Amino acid sequence: MTAIPQVRTRRMGLLGAMCALVVTGTGLTGCSSDDPDAGTNGVGKLPADQIQTKTRAAAESAETVRLSGTVVTSGRTYKLDMSLKADGGTGSVTAEGATFKLLRIGEKLFLKADAEFWSHEDGKGDDKGSDTAAADKLDGKFVKVPQGDPSYKKFSGFTDKDVLLSSLLTLHGDLATDGHHEQSGTRTIRITGDDGSGGTLDVSLEGKPYPLRLERAGGAGTLTFSGWGKPFELEAPAKDETVDYGKQLPS
């Protein structure tokens, strides 16, 4: 008389376990008619334009973020791995096979690279000798970039949280939602511009609606965002590791 209820109980328990497995593996929130936005921050139920507004607001209000991935602009591909905050940033940039480190604290910007980065391959005669000497002097040092140097504005832009986010977190064309997804274990709602040709953005459904992954329009790079609001310190380099070039940097 008790065998059937026990079998039924075991069957229901197995079904529940399978359901949990499906949820864990796919980022879905139910096996059948469950609300995929249950237990989330609720932005998944909003129109795409409102989701974009909320995610931009969340990003702007966060004190810190880590940004990594690629950006293609003016025919060049930059690989970024930057930690950013209101008063500066630090990290690395790779472009055309060369990698250099950037550190900005307030208005002070430092660039660190090896001798090959600083040397001029087209140097000749006395110029070549001076180029080599300059490269050796700057090799592996934090070089202070003069604010009047043409490269200051470009390089400091890589360390400016507000500048980077305002220029990157933009989808082009008609906005629409593109279902529920997952990014690094976090449930997301995806919004697109012009069915994806104008870019796609995954927005967190857990906690604040931070942007987590961006595919830029026209194949102009893919970026991930993490560490939202996690504090980190910006430390000035030691004097023996710093060079104040005092003039326009080598081109």
Using only C-alpha atoms, the chain has a radius of gyration, in whole angstroms, of 25
Whether 233 has a pLDDT exceeding 50, the answer reads yes
Asked if residues 111 and 250 have their Cβ atoms less than 8 Å apart, the reply is: no
What value does the mean pLDDT of the chain take? 84
pLDDT at residue 16, as a whole number:
45
Whether 65 has a pLDDT exceeding 50, the answer reads yes
Backbone angles phi, psi at 43, to 5 degrees: -70, -20
- Check the CA dihedral 27-32-38-41 and report its sign: positive
> Which tens digit of pLDDT belongs to each residue from 102-154?
999 999 999 999 988 887 544 444 455 556 777 888 888 999 999 888 889 88
> Which tens digit of pLDDT belongs to each residue from 1-56?
444 444 444 444 444 444 444 434 444 444 544 788 999 999 999 999 999 999 99
Residue bearing the bigger pLDDT, 128 or 191: 191
- Hey, is 111 helix, strand or coil? strand
Percent of the chain scored above 70 by pLDDT? Answer: 80
Helices in the chain by DSSP H: which ranges?
3-26, 48-61, 115-118, 125-138, 150-157, 161-168
Choice among 14-18, 116-120, 200-204, 212-216 with the minimum mean pLDDT? 14-18
Beta bridge partners of 222: 215
pLDDT at residue 251, as a whole number:
64
Report which of 6, 27, 31, 28 is spatially closest to residue 16, judged by C-alpha positions. Answer: 31
